[in-house]
Amino acid sequence: MTPLDAVFLLAEDAEPNLSLAIASIAVFAGPVPTLKELRAHLIGRLPLIPRYRQKVREVPLDLAPPVWVDDPSFDIDRHLVRTALPSPGGDAELRALMGRVMSARLDRDRPLWQNWLVEGLARDRWALISKVHHCMVDGVSGTDIYRAVLDPTPVPCVVPSDEWLPDSDPSAARLVLDAVAEVVRLPARQARALAGILVRPSGWPTRLVAAARGSVALAGSMWPARRTSLTGPLARPRHYSWASTGKDTVDTARREPGGTFNDVVLAAVTGGFRALLLERGEQPTPTAIRTLVPVSVRAPGAEGVRDNQVSLLLARLPVHLDDPLDRLMAVRAELSSLKTGGEAEAEALLTSLARFQPFPLIAAPVRAAAHAPQHAVVTVTTNVPGPREPLYCLGRELLEVVPYVPISSRMRIGVSIFSYRDRVTFGLTGDDSATDLDVLGSGIENDLRALGNRRRVGSSRLPDRRVRSPR
């Protein structure tokens, strides 16, 4: 396990009300398969996802990052759950189920994944909730699991034969000996890495300058955000909702003013948070919301590697602006400034260097930081592009994918954005203080409509909500 993967386990250990699993709801056209059919299908795909038959073992005294070991007692039935929505089987019932599923932690004594077969959806549909711990995958490698489990046509693919036999579970003494051996080899690894830089220095001076500049920017981003109801200690129950739009709406919204897909969706999220603050009777200010934006640093072709390969940007959301177009232009300028400022490069370099440090020097500060309150980052906003082509499970067409991002520290709300075929879906996660996620979702959808319509009907300002007195 890499140090970055291990951070998600260390952070979860430090907070009893924290569950750092990522997830998604895949909605399929009917008829619903039996649990036996789904079980046989998933068993056939296990050779494509070796991590699904491995569990985590922690190394005593944090001498090394936790390791993945084969689970000799692996039983797929411990990872499959069958359930049914109560009538009428609509979005409200599915959202409530997702909140309950994601409120519980995954069992550390077993491989860290779980699938829920959900029956009872209206309009002859069914769903599959896929839950995986963040220490195993990030958004990109997690999305690749869909390509392993699902098929590009209604006819199931031919899968490789399964000749898996579990290795023996290592003893604690074996783990300690391996960790000590790795510490002994560490100076040689550091020397080889340094030699590689000296032999092939091309690009390193630029990287180091960018990283230094980005480190200064990251340090400046740690200034506390203005206190609002969006931050505070987390309560265990999770609430969940989502918003969605067509990809053509996003394309239309960005065509005339310019910018990227990510600019538009982050601007829409900004509008959603503005609506939420106003609904709660709080004044949106320029310093109210800073969001963590994960940035993939995964090389092309490495999507199937089950680990985390991400850096980050820390962006201020201009919730104080009342015009959607003004917000879009401000978001575009903010992201452009952060990209040229080197924040992502600095974080990526620190993550790379962590691989060459003794793990106790990493684990101790991470554990301490997890206990320390932070007030700089208010939310997380992650955007992962999904498959553009249709996918199938047991011959049933995948209609929609709804993403889920975990929340941590004092961030009470998180937003995950996922595109599948011609739809873009915003998954909204909240703790027990965020029972009004529908306001956030409506604000996102309203902003997207406003940005799309402006391109066609002009640029009249939109009516703004009044600030009510605090509750």
User: Domains in the chain, please, with CATH?
Assistant: 3-159+168-172 (3.30.559.10), 201-457 (3.30.559.30)
**How buried is residue 400: exposed, middle or buried, by Cβ count under 10 Å (0-12/13-18/19+)?**
middle
Taking alpha carbons only, the member of 232, 331, 235, 334 closest to residue 274 is 331
3-state secondary structure of 366: helix
- What's the rounded mean pLDDT across residues 59-69? 93
More confident residue, 256 or 430: 430
Which backbone phi and psi does 270 adopt, to 5 degrees?
-60, -45
Question: With bands split at pLDDT 50, 70 and 90, how would you rate the model's confidence at 235?
Answer: confident
Question: With bands split at pLDDT 50, 70 and 90, how would you rate the model's confidence at 212?
Answer: low
Question: With bands split at pLDDT 50, 70 and 90, how would you rate the model's confidence at 46?
Answer: very high
Please give the positions annotated as active site: 134
33-49 residues labelled b (16+ CB within 10 A) or e (exposed): beeeebbebbebbbbbb
308-364 per-position pLDDT tens digit: 888 888 999 999 999 999 999 999 999 998 888 777 776 677 777 777 788 888 888
More confident residue, 431 or 373: 431
- What's the rounded mean pLDDT across residues 281-310? 91
- What's the rounded mean pLDDT across residues 83-88? 96
Given a cut of 80, whether residue 447 has pLDDT beyond it is yes
Report the chain's mean pLDDT, rounded to a whole number.
88
- Record the pTM: 0.89
Degrees (nearest 5) of the Cα angle 105, 111, 117? 70
263-285 per-position pLDDT tens digit: 999 999 999 999 999 999 999 99
104-123 per-position pLDDT tens digit: 999 999 999 999 999 999 99
